[in-house]
Structures are given as structure tokens and as C-alpha cells.
Amino acid sequence: MTNLTCFWHPKLGYHDLSLEDPCDDCRRTMGYPLSNPPISGLSNFEIVQSIDRGYYSSTYVARQGVLGQKVCLKVIPRSIYELRGKDFVEECRQHMEVADGTQHLVDIRDAFDADVLFQGESETLPCHVAVLDYVDGQSLRSVLEHADSLSATRTAQIAVDLLRLLQELENKQVFHNDLHSGNILVESLPPERERGDAIDPFTRAVAVDLGSVLDSSRSDENSQKADSHQVTEHLMRLALQVMPDPMASPDLEFRLALALNDIANLLKPDNITQRNPNYPDLISSIRLAFITASSPWRKPSDGLTRFGDSFNAQTMRPWFVPRLLVDPDGEWQSRIESSGPLVITGMRGCGKTMLLRALQFHARASMAGGDIDELKQGEVVLHALRADGYIGLYVSCNRLLDGLGKPDGPLHEPNTRLFLCYAREALQALRHLAEVGGRGAVSPVAPRPIASLISSLVTSSGVDAGDNIHVLERKIHEMLRSLESGEEAYQLTAHPAIAMPSLAAAVTECAEVWDGARVLFLLDDVSTRHLNEESIRRLLSSLMFVNENCAFKITTEAQTLELVLKSPGLIETARSGRDYDNFDLASAIYAKLRDSQGRAGRDFVAKVLQQRANLTGSHPHWSPSEVMGDQPLVDIARGIASSSNSSPDRKNVYFGMSALAAVCVGDIGDVISIYELILSKAGRVEAVPVAAKFQSSAFQEFCSRRLYQLSRRAGRLKLFADGFAKASHDLLIQSARRNPSRLRDYASVYVRVTAGDTDRQLQQLRELMDAGVFVLTGGPDTPRTKTRDSDPVAQYTLTFRKLLGLSNAIGLSQRDRFELSGQSLIDWLDNPRESSNLLKRNLASKSETVQEDDEYVLSPMLSNLSSASTAESFLDPMLFDTIIEDPTESPESDTESIVEASFRAPIPFPSILELDLDQIAELKPHTLVTAQGFEERTFVSTQRLLNAFTPDIAITVTYPLDGFGSETRALLDESGCTVRPIASDRRFELTPSVHDGIALVDVTGLSKTFLYDALRQLLRRDGRVLVVYTEAERYYPLNEDVAARLDSTLDDDYAKLEACHDILTGELRPYHFVPLHDGEVDDGRRRVLLASSSAKHERLFSLLEERDYDHVEIMIPSGKTPRDDLARLAARVAAKDFHSSRAREVSSNNPEDVLVTARETYEEFYALENFNYEVGLTGSKLHAVALAAASSALKFSQVWYVRPNQFDTARFTQGHGRTRVFLIERNA
């Protein structure tokens, strides 16, 4: 049956008809054009044979001209095209373009119009005619109808070609719309056209009718089937045709049929809600069925043939699972191995399936043997499996789908099918166990306990207790096939709470190594993409039972669990901890990706890629981190803001490991695909990192691919993605124009469902999440329902999948958000074409970004620092940055703070960009400001600089403690530059003249007072300055000394701090407080202090003891060293002594972070709250550099340098490390 209409009386709509069905108007059958082919009107073409027909056309074999060359003619009544408003000529051109360079789309030669006379007719029929290449074969419909002699190899090749056809269509970014079996020809190739790499080298399947490729959407979308869904039906029919008798046929035939069946199941979900398949993986699965006919779980002969192999975790060979899974210290696997029912949540592609399959018996057995084949490690493997204490049996929820794979109707016998699937998995585990440990590892009674149980619990099963494993497997498969077709012969007579524990007991009886083990029923991908809400509610509620011998471990998406799952009574929403246990893998990955300001995420992604690289022989010999290189995300935002749409800089902006991690919101699969695409574009990698143009091109191409797939699914979904991306881009550009130092980077939408048809809104939101446009962050067990005036309010934070916004040039940071509720949410959901403007009118306000109320904590991704108000410092949008789209009109809200902000001019602010040492010469520095310092690193730093360039003038600051000062001066004298020494107790003074080029300040050996003054003046005079800083090898107090004190002291902050007192610094008290600014401010105002806590925290403590402040902002390091721990400890102690304080994580080595912190706190306290803003130089030198830069734009009330009474030279730094270069520019 397929969609057909009469040639003489065409009708719109979807008509599922056979060739024998007659037309209601003229009673001609649908097959009439085939049985009565054209007899005249086709110019010099003579019809030889009818092939098949579809909705639009009939196809024929014809001979052309006097030479009689064979061609394929496609004949279409013009009335059908006129009825549907189609352009035949343009369609033929499109056919030619799409078919070009493909293997499975037949080429078109020519096209013309003709008045065709069909056999038996007296009047001609106006037709369009397309001339196609001849295909020597028959339609797939005919092959399937006469498949008695269809071999396994021919079947497999047809299946592979069908999948390759889908891949070619996807690569061309079109969909066929009409891939019924009559439009696919199976060609028999002559020996001279043998396909060298094919399973069957003499078979090829091609599509001959591309008549629907121009349709913007599928005609009659509710009825017409997607390309992949139609191919799925073909695969299922092929699988059924070659299913042999396992007792009489070679094992290859049986394995192949199972492989085709499994792949068809993976493709089977509804044509609108199905997951985008990875065709190379599916093709590989069929090919591997031949290679691993008897044991697909065995160690492969080689690794991954390409980097993206085994991308789909559902089709991945079990041996690869534990070797590709990235699980920090095994904590995630340990989490899900626990007893009791568990739901694992997370977005598609986050690795839920990989984690679940890591518990599968086959994966555990393969891992137990290490990298040596487990067959050679029998005893070792058996011991490890016994120690596991569980048997993991894995089933994908796709196997529970009804025949057509549509989620709208009720499931047909889901419990019966589930029971039988797990029984079959247990039989396969027994076969694997027998291969590992020999026949003696399997009990002599196996599989009798399982067979007996099926016989007693499944009606009409036909199972005999004496059936062997292979026979029982075949019978189970036949029952599942019958259930899938909707037949009702087989029913499970017991509730799952009884049947599944009974199955677990039967399984453990079959092997001594399983004696006493728990059976973990691993159920993957329970999603509203496949099943309707009611089916999921009832299915999961029946499986969430507690039993000491078995448990279900289920994966789903967070939105499915949040919006669908009910308690066992099906009355209220189920709650984690009460009705089930939940592990949110996506949130765990997201936290890992965003930890340590993204560095941990970058490392996590790098490890995921590295483990694949280890198994891929064709991977370049460099690590993925080296292949990708890196750049700060802020540079991407700046690159976008500073370039035009068509500029090369804009086109090449996305590159680096941080960018790859940033586009990942838990969808690890896309990360792998993008990286593989980068390798493909780069070709043979001969130098690293791969050029930005290749990387950015891969990012953009993958974005286009995903947007295309989104558009295929539903055009409105793409509108939402484009709308968010456009709003994010516009606000980024707008913020850059107003204040380049504080770029706005919108990454999420906070929604509150408070009004209107809330059920409809929740359905719309879930659709956006199911499609992967947004990801529900925070996990379903995070509180999202609060009560206001006794009315429940549903709240969600939806993080945008930034991969979908790359074509709109969006930044990749996770900083800002939109907020929608009430009517604004309704308008946004109902008007996707206006989504960009609606979002830009609904920016998050300061008060709502921090915390909604005492009952609801907004985001689990905020730092868990001790101060209750810490969250403010990370995500608060500043009121200076409020967007007023039309300054001549008042905003709809009359909120005082927004009105006030809209009249304030943007504050010019400097930027800091890190460069390479070899880039210095390009900027032509004319002046070097450095120190004749005591420490070795000052000498090394000067040496490195003089190797990079020669200044005209060197201003050297001399100190009483000479150290390496004389050697540094000698280097400068030898360079030939003019040296001007200046004593450290004198102020730095500049001449008013401006030289060509730029000044460079090497702060390595400079005191903070001098570097602060020098940078401030140079920025004021020249507008830019280069800063160089050479790190030391060892800093005091030493990490090992700090760790020893902290570890040996009671868990008390004050005691720990006291224990570190004697190792803290190379400084002697008392401290002196040196003001660096003239006092010009009104001391009647409240005072706020911005200062840093470091391992040398005595300076901070002394300043706080000496001077009163109304509020203190303390920057604490984000690192994990003992010195960093000490700094955080000191900040906690300092905060306890202040009634108002806040700790903010800021990297000690990243001056850009300090700039952001200074700007945000300055706006908050100085501009909006009318505080006097003071700064303490109590942190690292790079902190002082950033604060000096900030002081060129902000009015600091005072800046304090805390000077010790005396320095202990024995506690100065030792050795030298890397040299870093920064370009600071003052922006107008």
C-alpha cells in the first residue's frame, strides 16, 4: 500500500491504495498506467517494460532512437503537477543537482512535454516526461513480493544502500518525501561494474523518482511518512524475508536478520518525533553482522576505523562501551549500580545510554579481561563478574514501540514485550558466558528455568522446557515480531512486579557465577519522543517496584520525567527519593563542563575525545587538545562584536577546545561529530592546531546540519532557534557598542508558567526540549514549583543549545538569560516568528536573577560558596546593561531602576587580551619599563624580552635589595638601548610626548605601587600598553607546607589559620598602608572595599582591621591547590568578622576576570548604591595589573597598597616559569 492517485482524475490528499484499487471516478485501477503503458507520443522512445508507479508518475524501461539505448522514462500527467502547483522544469533541475555525485540517486538526462496515448485509450493525456539513466533491475516492491530466493548478502546490501540513500539525501539537505518501494529500484550489476567494497558487489539500490524534493514540507504531513520511516518499513520487511531456521541454516543468516531488525527498531519512532539517526553507524552495524556473526560482543580485530565510529551508543559494540565511557573516578557508574529502582535523566546525546550500557553484562565481561580478549582470560573474567554481584540486561525502549512507531496510541502489550526482550537478552548473556568460561560456566539446566517461566507466564508461547538456547531465542523473536505487528496471541499473565523478579530468579539459576547476583533490567530511552504520556506513566509506574533481587534502571530526558511521570498511584507528580531514585547525568556533565570557569569542561571534553583517539588508528598522532588548540570564549565574543557579517574574521571565529566544550550542554555526541568533521575538513593533519578556518567551518556546517534537521521536523522549531540566536547576537553587538568590556551573552530562558492554558504551554515547552532547541538544566529533582498566593507556579530554566545559533554568530559563554512568564510566555510560544523581539523585551532583571524567594533556588549551577549572596556575583546583569531598544520611547515597565539606567551613558572600559611572546615585535614597543629585581625570574624575563625585541628606551626601577639586578642591567646595556634607572621610592613620571608604537611594562619584579602608577599613566597617555609577567617556579608559602598544616589540624577555620601562621609570608609586621590616590571624595558616604584573599592573607586582614567598611567584596582564587584552599579559608574567616561581605571566585592568573568583577561591583555599589568605592592591592600582581587598568576608566575613591615593615628574602619566589604577555587597551 502506498500513496496513489488516478492519472486521469487526480486528487489531493493522502490515499493509501494498492495497484489493484480502482479510481472512484473512472474505475481505472491505480496500476492501469503499468498494465496499459504508453504506445505513442513519446517521440523516439519505445516502451519496453513497465517498472512501477508512485503518486506522481509511472516508470518504464524504454529504448531510444535507432541505436536502441535503454533508458528509464518517468511519465507524469501534467494535471497532477498543476493540481499541486509544482514546476516540472525546476524540479528536473533540482533532480540533476541532487543526484550529482551520489551513488543511490539515479541521474536525469533530459525532460520534455508530450501528449501521450496509453494502451486502450482513444485520447491522449498531456504529460511531463523525464529521461533517466537505465537501471537494470526491478522495483523493491517486486523484490519484496517475490523474495523466495533473496539471499542474506543481497538483503544486507539492499539494506546498506537504503541507509546510504538516506545519508545522501541528508548530505544534500533535501528529503525525498516519497520513498515507497515502487520508487526504489534494485539493480543487478554486470561483472564489469562490480562494487569492490560491497557486501554483495553485484547489487545496488537506487531511488528513481525525486519528484517531491522541492516540497518545502511533506504533503499531507499528518499522513505522509518521513523518508527514514519508509525505509524502516522496507528494512523490517527485508528482515522478515531472510529470517531462517536457526537449526538448519548458517548462523550468518540468523545474525543478519537480527541486525536488520535491531536497526529498523532504532529508526522506527514517529516520523515527526524520531531521533536523528547516524547512518554510518547503522551501515557499520550491518557490515559487522558478517564479521561478528557468532559473537558481536567479542573484541574487534582492530579499533575504530574512523573517529566517529560507534557514535550511537545503542548500536555500539559492547567491547567499546567501557573504553569510550568517560566517568570521573567511576562515581557515576557507582551511583547507578546501587540497589533499587533508578531513573537516569538528561538530554539526548549526554551519554545516558553509554552509562547504562556500561552495566550491561557484555560490557562488564569485556572490561574484566582488560585489553586482552576475555576468551583468553576466562578465570579472571569469571572472578570479576562474580565480584560485580549483578547481571545487567539491556533493552532499548524502541523495542516497545507499536508497528508503525507512533507515540499517539496506547502501547500494545508493553509488559509482555518487555518481559520477552529481557528473556532474550539473558539468553545472549548465557552464550557470552559460555564463550568466556566454557560450557562448564553455564549450568546444565540452562536455559530450562527461563523456558519454563515463559511457558507458564506467556499465553500460547509454544515454548518447550527442553528448548536449547538458539531455538528459544528464535521463538522469542517470533513472538516479539508478532506482538510488534499488533497480534494478540501472546500475553503476559502476571504483573511485572511478579514476572520480572521471577525472570531474575530464573536467570540466576542458569549459571553458578550468577548465584546470589541481582539482575539489573536496563531500560533505555523511555521518552515522549517514542511514547505518549499515559503509556509512560503506566509503564514506569509498573516498573518502579522494589525487590531485593532485581531493579529497573531507566534512562529518560529530564523534561519527560518532570512533565509526565506520576507517583505509583497516578495521582500526583512522582517525587525523587519517595517514589524513585534519580540521577541527573546531564546536570552532572553540565556542572563538569562549567566547573572552574569552564576549564574542567574543556578537560572533560578533551578526555572524551582522547579516549576515542586512543582506539582510532587513523587519528593524528597529536592529542585532540593539540589538534584543537584553544582560545578564551571572551575572544570569540569580541571577534563577533568587532567584525562584520561577511568578514573573514567572523567566518573563522569559532575554534578551540573551549569553544567545542561551550557548544556542548551535555550532548557529547555532537562534540564527537564536530571534532570528526574538523578532522575531515583538515585532511591530513601535518601541524597543530588545525587552522581556524577549518574548525570554524566545521562548527558552522554542523550548525546548518542541525538546523536543517530541525526544519525537517517542524519549521516552527527552527524559528524558535533562530529567534533566540538572533536576539542573543543583537544584544551582544549592542553591548559591545555600549561597553566593550561587558559583553552580554544570553544563554538561557527562565520561564514561569503562571497564566492561560498551562497544560498547553507545558506541552509546547516539552516540544522545544524534545527537539533539542533548549535543555532543561538543573535536573528534575531540583525544586521548580513554588507557591505564590496558594497557586502553584511551574518554573524552568531552559538553556539554549548554542550549537543551533552559530550561524547567527552568537557568543558561547553561559552568562545572561531572558525571563518569560504570564502573557509574555504565551506570546513567545504562540508566535515563533516574533520570538527574537519578544525575548529582547524580556531581559532578566537584577532582583529576579539572584533568587526568587526563600522556597525556590533558581540555579544549581551557581557556586556553593559560603556567603548566601554569592550567586549574585556570577549571573547578575547590571542595570547599566539594560537594553532600551528605542531611547525615544519609555519602556512599558516604569521600574525606577530601569528608567534610571536608561539615561546613564555607558562607561568606557579597558580590555585585556593575552598574546604570545613572539607577537610583541609586531607591535613595535618603543619603551621597556622593568625592574632590576632581586628574584631570578626578573632576570629571565628581561632576557626573554630582549630576545623578542630591542626597545629604544629602558626605564629600570632599582631596589635596595639587588639580587639579580646587576645582571639585568648588564643585559640591557648590552642590548644597545638607552637605560634610564629610577629609584623605587620615586614616582613614575611620563613625558607628555607620544611615541610611535607602544610601551611595555614588565611587572615581574616591580612593586605593586610602581606598576599600578606606571600602567595607569601609560593608559591615560597612550590608550594602550603591553604588560609582561614571568611566573615563578615556587611560591611561598609552599603548597606542601600549607597542605601539611591544614591536614593535621582540627576541622576549625580559626585553628587551621593559626596553624599556618608561621609559614604564611616572607614579610614582617607591622604593615603600612599606602594610599595611591589623592583623597578627593566625600567620606560621609558608605564605603565598599574590593580586595583579594591569597595565601599571603595578612595584608587583607590588616587592611580590614585598620579601616572600616560597610561592605566588603573579596575575590578568592578558583584553583584547587593547598594555597588556594588557604586563601578561601582566610576569606571565610574575614567574612565572619563582617556583617556584610561577599566572596567571588576569580582566577589569580586571569586579569580579565578581575576586570569583570571590578566593573560589576563598581556599577552595583558606586553607581547605583552611592558608595565610595575603594580597592585593596592584596592579591597577585596580575590582579594589580587589572585593577590599574580598571582605574583608567573608573573613579576609585582610594586604592591601598599594604606594605610590610620588612621583607624576608629567604621567602621570595624561586626559579622561573612561563612568560605571559597582555595587551591592555582603553576603549572609548
Q: Which of 240-244, 485-489, 1088-1092 has the lowest mean pLDDT?
A: 240-244
CB atoms within 10 A of CB 81: 19
In this structure, are 661 and 784 located in the same domain?
Answer: no
* Closest among 1137, 1102, 936 to 1033, alpha carbons compared: 936
Q: Taking CA 730 as the corner, what is the angle to CA 727 and CA 733, rounded to the nearest 5 degrees?
A: 150
Report how far Cα 572 is from the mean position of its chain's Cα atoms.
32
475-481 long-range CB contacts below 8 Å, 24 or more apart?
476/420, 476/423, 476/424, 476/427, 477/243, 477/258, 477/261, 477/424, 479/420, 480/399, 480/417, 480/420, 480/421, 480/424, 481/240, 481/261
Secondary structure of residue 954 in the 3-state scheme: strand
pLDDT score recorded for residue 577: 56
pLDDT score for 197: 64
Residues 278, 223 within the same domain: yes
Lowest mean pLDDT among 62-76, 240-254, 474-488, 622-636: 240-254
- Does the predicted TM-score (pTM) go above 0.85? no
What's the CA angle centered on 512, arms 510 and 514, to 5 degrees? Answer: 75
Confidence tier at 404 by pLDDT (50, 70, 90)? very low
* First and final C-alpha spacing in the chain: 70
Same domain, 444 and 521: yes
Q: How far apart are CA 423 and CA 506, in angstroms?
A: 10
CB 1035 within 8 A of CB 935: no
Q: How confident is residue 188, by pLDDT bands cut at 50, 70 and 90?
A: confident
- Check which CATH number belongs to the domain holding 1196 and give it: 3.40.50.10770
Domain final residue pick, 117, 134, 151: 134
Q: Give which of 262, 233, 257 is closest to 245, Cα–Cα.
A: 257
Instruction: Rank 39-53, 261-275, 756-770, 1129-1143 by mean pLDDT and report only the highest.
Output: 39-53
- Tell me whether residue 562 is in a domain: yes
Banded pLDDT at 252 (limits 50, 70, 90): low
**Which one, of 362, 217, 28, lies nearest residue 718 by Cα?**
217
> Phi and psi (nearest 5°) for 1000?
-125, 130
d(CA 714, CA 696): 27
From the number of C-beta atoms within 10 Å of its C-beta (0-12, 13-18, 19+), residue 1030 rates as buried
Average pLDDT over residues 1046-1065: 73
Per-residue pLDDT band for 157 (boundaries 50, 70, 90) equals confident
For residue 1014, is it within any domain?
Answer: no
Which 3 state secondary structure label does DSSP give 950?
Answer: coil
Section 45-58 average pLDDT: 89
Task: Name the band, by pLDDT with cuts 50, 70 and 90, for residue 1113.
Answer: very high
| Same domain as 552, residue 501 | yes
| Structure-block grid coordinates of residue 73 | 522514462
Tell me if residue 957 falls in helix, strand or coil: strand
Look at the chain and report how many structural domains it folds into: 7
Asked if residue 677 lies in contact with residue 701, where contact means CB atoms within 8 angstroms, the answer is yes
Residues 665 and 781 in one domain: no
Tell me which residue has cell 503506566.
538
Residue 715: how many CB atoms within 10 A of its CB? 12
Residue 792 has pLDDT above 70, yes or no: no
Whether residue 250 has a cis bond before it, omega within 30° of 0: no
Q: What is the 8-class DSSP label of residue 1164?
A: I
Q: What is the pLDDT of residue 118?
A: 95
Q: Look at residue 1144 and tell me if it is in a domain.
A: yes
Whether residues 847 and 925 share a domain: the answer is no
Using CA of residue 410, residue 412, residue 417, residue 419, what is the dihedral sign?
A: positive
Note whether residue 425 is domain-resident: yes
Better pLDDT: 155 or 530: 155
What does the block give as the cell for 1068? Answer: 614582617
587 in a domain, yes or no?
no
84: CATH: 3.30.200.20
- How do residues 560-581 score in pLDDT, each as one tens digit? 665 455 444 444 555 555 556 8
Helix axes 361-368, 378-388, angle to 10 degrees: 130
Q: Which domain holds residue 927?
A: 915-1008
Q: What is the pLDDT of residue 853?
A: 28
Distance CA 212, CA 226 (A): 12
Write down the pLDDT at residue 733: 92
Rank 15-19, 438-442, 918-922 by mean pLDDT and report only the highest: 918-922
CATH number at residue 172: 1.10.510.10
My answer on whether 870 and 955 are in the same domain is: no
Confidence of residue 307 (pLDDT cuts 50, 70, 90): confident
Which residues in 116-131 are b (16+ Cβ under 10 Å) and which e?
bbbeeeeeebebbbbb
Say if residue 346 is exposed, middle or buried (CB neighbours under 10 Å; 0-12, 13-18, 19+).
buried
User: 660 and 748 share a domain?
Assistant: no
Pairing of strands 518-524, 550-556: parallel
Give a yes or no: residue 550 inside a domain.
yes
Residue with the bigger pLDDT between 170 and 211: it is 170
- 909 occurs within a structural domain: no
Pairing mode of beta strands 108-118, 38-40: antiparallel
Q: What is the pLDDT of residue 903?
A: 31
Short-list 477, 469, 478, CA closest to 247: 469
Check which CATH number belongs to the domain holding 955 and give it: 3.40.50
Among 548, 579, 610, identify where a domain stops. 579
Burial 279-317 (b: 16+ CB within 10 A, else e): bbbbbbbbebbeebbeebbbbbeebbebbbbbbbbbbbb
Residues 6 or more apart in contact with residue 36 via CB below 8 angstroms: 118, 119, 120, 121
Task: Provide the pairing of β-strand 58-64 with 69-77.
Answer: antiparallel
pLDDT at 281 (0 to 100): 77
Q: What is the pLDDT of residue 995?
A: 61
Whether residue 162 sits in one domain with residue 280: yes
**Cell digits for 541?**
509506574
CA gap 201, 192 in Å, rounded: 11
Cβ proximity of 818 and 794 under 8 Å: no
- Give yes or no for residue 790 having a pLDDT over 50: no
d(CA 821, CA 751): 6
Q: How confident is the model at residue 891 (pLDDT cuts 50, 70, 90)?
A: very low
Residue 942: band (very low, low, confident or very high) from pLDDT cuts 50, 70, 90:
very high
Name the residue with cell 562448564.
440
* Same domain as 342, residue 477: yes
Q: Are residues 561 and 617 in the same domain?
A: no
pLDDT class for 43, splitting at 50, 70, 90? confident
Specify the amino acid at residue 845. Answer: S
Residue of 193, 202, 191 lying closest to 161 (CA atoms): 202
pLDDT at 243: 54
Per the CB < 8 A criterion, the answer to whether 798 and 777 are in contact is: yes
| pLDDT tens digits, 820-859 | 988 999 999 999 999 999 998 888 654 333 332 222 222 2
Tell me what pLDDT residue 219 has. Answer: 39
Q: Which of 514, 544, 579 represents a domain boundary (last residue)?
A: 579
Would residue 1222 count as lying in a domain? Answer: no
CB 1157 within 8 A of CB 1144: yes
417 shares its domain with 441: yes
